[in-house]
């Protein structure tokens, strides 16, 4: 039988073999785990990279938004003010034009007013689309100055209304609108507002010329009527003068007859003959003298 000492050595040898086998197994398995699992440093770097990528993406998106804003999605205060002023001018022309269509006496003025309503309604619709794209709310009625002008027009009628409408809405208001559009086309920061103003300027200029032509035609018509009245009055006066001339002729004839009838003496007959207005009266005077001599 083995001695206790031998058993002890055998047990130690077995334990040594088991330990060696366990160590070999650990060396075989754990390097793979080490390769499969990233280290803390690698995880940190990866996390940092992802965060940086996200930041870069977010920064890129912000940059894109900034570029979009710079391109004119939001108007400057100056551009927004001009946009609203142009809207008020269009509203004023539309409102005054509708009034003129009802109150004007001249058909030509009514035709002009209809043109104003149609063209400025289209211009306002285009402006509303532009304002909506820029996030601007436009006014819904003309400014106080234009409303005061309409109040004055409302109190007029007939030829006075026609004349005043053409002066205020056709001429004066269009000059103001033209200056406003010129300023927008040259000074606006937003390219869309500039393009709109440049396009509408031509329409306003045609309205200005149309207002001048209509006003000139009204003046000519008015002067023609006045001239016809003067001509008729002149004829009446001429007729009266002619009638007066006939009366004077009658008086002259009466005087001549009286001269002829009263020629009882040479001195009496000679006086009418000398002062007679015609040879006939002189002859009558002479005839009277001859009768007296017999």
Classify residue 3 by its DSSP letter. -
Q: Quick check: is 212 in a domain?
A: yes
Number of domains in the chain: 1
Q: Quick check: is 207 in a domain?
A: yes
- Domain of 208, in residue numbers: 72-134+158-224
For residue 137, count other CB atoms closer than 10 A to its CB. Answer: 10
123: domain CATH number is 1.20.1260.10
Q: Quick check: is 288 in a domain?
A: no
Q: Quick check: is 124 in a domain?
A: yes
Cβ(72)–Cβ(190) below 8 Å: yes
Q: Quick check: is 209 in a domain?
A: yes
Q: Quick check: is 281 in a domain?
A: no
Tens of pLDDT along the chain (294 residues) come to 556 666 777 777 777 777 676 667 666 555 444 444 454 445 444 444 444 444 444 444 333 333 333 444 789 999 999 999 999 999 999 999 999 999 999 999 999 999 999 999 999 999 999 999 999 999 999 989 889 989 999 999 999 999 999 998 888 999 999 999 999 999 999 999 999 999 999 999 999 999 999 999 988 887 767 665 555 555 555 454 444 444 444 444 444 443 444 434 444 333 444 343 444 443 333 333 333 333
Q: Quick check: is 33 in a domain?
A: no
Please list, residue by residue across 105-121, b when 16 or more beta carbons sit within 10 angstroms of its beta carbon and e when fewer do. ebebbbebbebbbebbe
Q: Quick check: is 238 in a domain?
A: no
């Amino acid at each position: 039988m083995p001695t206790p000492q031998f058993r002890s050595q055998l047990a130690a040898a077995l334990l040594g073999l088991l330990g060696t086998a366990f160590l070999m197994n650990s060396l075989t398995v754990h390097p793979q785990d080490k390769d499969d699992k990233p280290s803390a440093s690698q995880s940190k770097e990866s996390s940092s990279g992802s965060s940086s990528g996200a930041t870069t993406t977010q920064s890129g998106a912000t940059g894109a938004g900034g570029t979009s804003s710079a391109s004119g999605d939001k108007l400057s205060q100056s551009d927004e003010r001009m946009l609203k002023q142009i809207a008020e001018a269009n509203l004023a022309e539309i409102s005054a034009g509708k009034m003129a269509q009802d109150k004007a006496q001249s058909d030509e003025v009514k035709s002009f007013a209809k043109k104003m309503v149609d063209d400025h309604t289209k211009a306002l619709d285009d402006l509303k689309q532009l304002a909506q794209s820029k996030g601007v709310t436009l006014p819904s009625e003309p400014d106080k100055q234009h409303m005061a002008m309409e109040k004055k027009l409302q109190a007029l009628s007939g030829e006075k209304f026609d004349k005043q409408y053409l002066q205020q809405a056709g001429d004066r208001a269009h000059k103001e609108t033209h200056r406003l559009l010129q300023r927008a086309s040259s000074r606006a920061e937003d390219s869309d507002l500039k393009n709109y103003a440049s396009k509408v300027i031509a329409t306003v200029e045609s309205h200005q010329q149309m207002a001048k032509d209509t006003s000139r035609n009204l003046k000519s018509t008015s002067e023609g009527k006045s001239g016809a009245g003067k001509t008729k009055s002149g004829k009446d006066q001429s007729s009266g003068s002619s009638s007066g001339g006939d009366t004077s002729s009658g008086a002259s004839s009466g005087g001549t007859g009286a001269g002829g009838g009263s020629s009882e003496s040479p001195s009496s007959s000679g006086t009418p003959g000398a002062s007679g207005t015609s040879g006939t009266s002189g002859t009558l005077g002479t005839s009277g003298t001859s009768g007296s001599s017999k």
